[in-house]
């Protein structure tokens, strides 16, 4: 292979894999046939034409008629995953509250029914929408709404406007709505089946661990004395979200679901201080997320096996 051909092939790597499998050799033949004798580098006009062509192919696949089903299923999958994210957030919060109670009171906290009830009812309210989506049972979705109503009656401040806008409260109501939509709309329920159940089992534990670690930094580290450590609080959860997003990018539907869910999911780990930390720290944190995303995407690409249409 000549140096010119190798450089042309590197440019053609910008095209989707299945497109290259069908047209790469033909394109290489045309490009080499038009090259001057002794030419070792692609002409700038050819470079621009190849890059523009790759952009158009990706654009047609991302937004053209061929991607209609992916744009239909992607938001449905994102909507279906939201109750699971809220369950993960609730589990992380209640784990920390339980650990604090055990630290402050000892095992006596387990004998206090009010403490156990406070932890259990929050987990149940968050778990019912996730179960409704996972099992596709309408009665569980309705039961989840009833449980949320009873929980809100015991804690009326949850329905105040300022509380609904708070990350730990309003998003639970959104999870209930998502469960009802998934349970009662057949098209949305079919989209959920695109996510294997084993994926929930595989990603659940690291997600809970990552979000618990992020929340624990704020609760257990002296904010004033260790601001340099607290500034890194979003990173454990951000890395988990980035890994999941990179893993999801193996499919067209997964890419769209990840695009919709990434920022809302990352916000559960409290990204509010990110604009106020020093620029090198913020770039380092975003770099950790970008590295995790890239690693998961590359690993998933290598495991995908045969060439599949991209979109």
Q: Using H for helix, E for strand and C for coil, what is the string for the chain? A: CCHHHHHHHHHHCCCCHHHHHHHHHHHHHHHHHCCCCCCCCCCHHHHHHHHHHHHHHHHHHHHCHHHHHHHHHHHHHHHHHHHHHHHHHHHHHHHHHHHHHHHHHHHHHHHCHHHHHHHHHHHHHHHHHHHHHHHCCHHHHHHHHHHHHHHHHHCHHHHCHHHHCCCCCHHHHHHHHHHHHHHHCHHHHHHHCCCCHHHHHHHHHHHHHHHHHHHHHHHHCCCCCCHHHHCCCCHHHHHHHHHHHHHHCCCHHHHHHHHHHHHHHHHCCCCCCHHHCCHHHHHHHHHHHHHHHHHHHHHHHHHCCCCCCCC
- The Cα–Cα gap between 285 and 41 comes to 38
- pLDDT number for residue 309: 45
Q: How confident is the model at residue 161 (pLDDT cuts 50, 70, 90)?
A: very low
Of 176 and 58, the one with more pLDDT: 58
Give the tens place of pLDDT for each residue, 14-51: 888 888 888 888 888 888 888 888 888 888 888 899 99
- The Cα–Cα gap between 134 and 111 comes to 33
Tell me which of 65-74, 174-183, 194-203 is least confident. Answer: 174-183
- pLDDT number for residue 24: 87
Q: How confident is the model at residue 209 (pLDDT cuts 50, 70, 90)?
A: confident
- pLDDT number for residue 136: 74
Tell me which of 45-54, 79-88, 240-249, 264-273 is least confident. Answer: 264-273
CB atoms within 10 A of CB 189: 17
Q: Is the pTM of this model over 0.75?
A: no
User: Dihedral sign, CA of 108, 114, 117, 123?
Assistant: negative
- The Cα–Cα gap between 239 and 206 comes to 10
Beta carbons of 258 and 248 less than 8 angstroms apart? yes
How many percent of the chain have pLDDT more than 90? 0
Give the tens place of pLDDT for each residue, 96-111: 777 777 666 665 555 5
- pLDDT number for residue 306: 45
In 3D space, the residue among 88, 71, 49 whose CA is nearest the CA of residue 203 turns out to be: 88
Q: Which residue has the tokens 């090259």?
A: 35
Domain limits of the chain? 3-63, 67-303
- pLDDT number for residue 164: 47
Give the tens place of pLDDT for each residue, 251-294: 888 888 888 877 777 777 766 555 666 777 778 878 888 888 88
Q: How confident is the model at residue 310 (pLDDT cuts 50, 70, 90)?
A: very low
* Average of per-residue pLDDT values in the chain: 75
247 token code pair: 């893993």
263 token code pair: 């920022």
- pLDDT number for residue 143: 84
Does residue 182 surpass a pLDDT of 80?
A: no
């Amino acid at each position: 292979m000549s140096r010119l051909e190798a450089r042309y092939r590197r440019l053609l790597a910008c095209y989707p894999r299945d497109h290259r499998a069908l047209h790469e050799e033909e394109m290489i033949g045309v490009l080499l046939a038009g090259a001057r004798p002794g030419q070792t580098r692609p002409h700038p006009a050819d470079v621009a034409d190849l890059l523009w062509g790759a952009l158009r192919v990706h654009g047609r696949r991302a937004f053209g008629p061929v991607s209609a089903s992916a744009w239909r299923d992607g938001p449905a999958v994102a909507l279906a995953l939201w109750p699971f994210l809220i369950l993960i957030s609730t589990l992380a919060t209640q784990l920390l509250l339980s650990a604090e109670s055990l630290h402050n009171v000892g095992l006596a906290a387990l004998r206090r029914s009010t403490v156990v009830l406070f932890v259990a009812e929050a987990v149940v309210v968050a778990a019912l929408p996730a179960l409704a989506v996972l099992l596709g049972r309408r009665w569980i979705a309705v039961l989840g709404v009833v449980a949320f109503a009873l929980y809100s009656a015991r804690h009326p401040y949850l329905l105040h406007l300022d509380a609904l806008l708070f990350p730990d409260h309003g998003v639970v109501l959104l999870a209930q709505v998502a469960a009802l939509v998934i349970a009662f709309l057949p098209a949305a329920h079919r989209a959920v089946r695109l996510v294997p159940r084993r994926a929930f089992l595989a990603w659940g534990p690291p997600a809970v661990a990552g979000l618990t670690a992020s929340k624990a930094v704020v609760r257990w580290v002296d904010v004033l004395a260790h601001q340099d450590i607290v500034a890194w609080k979003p990173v454990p959860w951000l890395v988990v979200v980035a890994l999941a997003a990179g893993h999801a990018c193996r499919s067209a539907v997964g890419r769209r679901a990840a695009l919709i869910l990434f920022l809302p999911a990352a916000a559960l780990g409290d990204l509010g201080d990110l604009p106020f930390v020093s620029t090198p720290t913020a770039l380092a944190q975003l770099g950790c997320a970008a590295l995790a995303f890239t690693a998961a995407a590359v690993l998933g690409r290598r495991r995908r096996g045969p060439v599949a249409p991209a979109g």
